[in-house]
Amino acid sequence: VEMMESGGGSVQAGGSLNLSCTAPGFPLDDYALAWYRQAPGKEREEVSCISFTGKITQHDDSVKGRFTISRDNGKNMFYLHMTSLKPEDSAMYYCAAVTRSECKTTIRNLHVMTPWGQGTQVTVSS
Give phi and psi for 73, each to the nearest 5: -65, -30
What pLDDT does 42 receive? 97
Task: For the sheet with 67-72, list strands across it.
Answer: 4-6, 17-22, 77-82, 67-72
Per-residue model confidence as pLDDT tens for the chain (126 residues): 999 999 999 999 999 999 999 999 999 999 999 999 999 999 999 999 999 999 999 999 999 999 999 999 999 999 999 999 999 999 999 999 999 999 999 999 999 999 999 999 999 999
CA distance 95 to 12: 23
CB contact burial 81-116 (16+ within 10 A = b; e otherwise): ebeebeeebbbbbbbbbbeeebbeeebeebebbbee
What pLDDT does 69 receive? 98
Q: Spell out the residues 6+ positions from residue 25 whose beta carbon is closer than 8 angstroms to its own.
A: 1
CA distance 67 to 27: 24
